[in-house]
Amino acid sequence: MDTKRAMLRHCLATLAYRGGKVLRNVPDDFAEFSAHETTRTPSQIVAHLGDLLDWGLSMARGQEKWINLEPGDWKTSGERFFSSLKAFDDYLASDEALGVTEERLFQGPIADSFTHVGQLAMLSRMAGQPIRAENYSKASIEPGRVGDDQKPPKFEFD
């Protein structure tokens, strides 16, 4: 596997780690928390994350297509996030050709996904449930580990 493709897989594993942290153990009412009438709710953001990852996979396959799905319940949207990550990672792990450059995959769907995970962390803090800070450079992040089965944090702090 070339180094660019390997780096994209590491990015997806990092996204799974950080995304999992903001998706787990949220209060029941968090999904519909609204910081302002013009902002997306956490539920809408998680649905958008699934859309972004599905778009990234379509780009990788050379069949770029955007599908905007309506948010489901929190659990279902979270499951879609991880299944979309897995499908995207599986494609990157394969020998199949990429339909776009690695740079386009990173600068579009992957980078945007990190932005939205950050939004979820910020909204969680605003809703009174801050995500514990962590030295992410020490986290156990492994390419291919893109599900909810993340290893526990090594060094969290307040």
Contacts of 115 (CB under 8 A, 6+ apart): none
Domain of 81, in residue numbers: 3-157
What tens digit of pLDDT does each residue of 60-84 get? 999 999 999 999 999 999 999 999 9
Q: Does the pLDDT at position 125 exceed 90?
A: yes
Contacts of 120 (CB under 8 A, 6+ apart): 19, 22, 23, 42, 45, 46
**What's the rounded mean pLDDT across residues 102-111?**
98
Q: How far is CA 145 from CA 52, 90, 104, in A?
A: 19, 11, 22
Residues 26 and 129 sit within 8 Å (Cβ to Cβ): yes
Rounded to whole angstroms, the Cα distance separating 70 from 57 reads 19
Q: Please tell me the pTM assigned to this model.
A: 0.95
Domain count along the chain: 1
Instruction: Assign residue 75 the CATH number of its domain.
Output: 1.20.120.450
Residues 44 and 74 sit within 8 Å (Cβ to Cβ): no
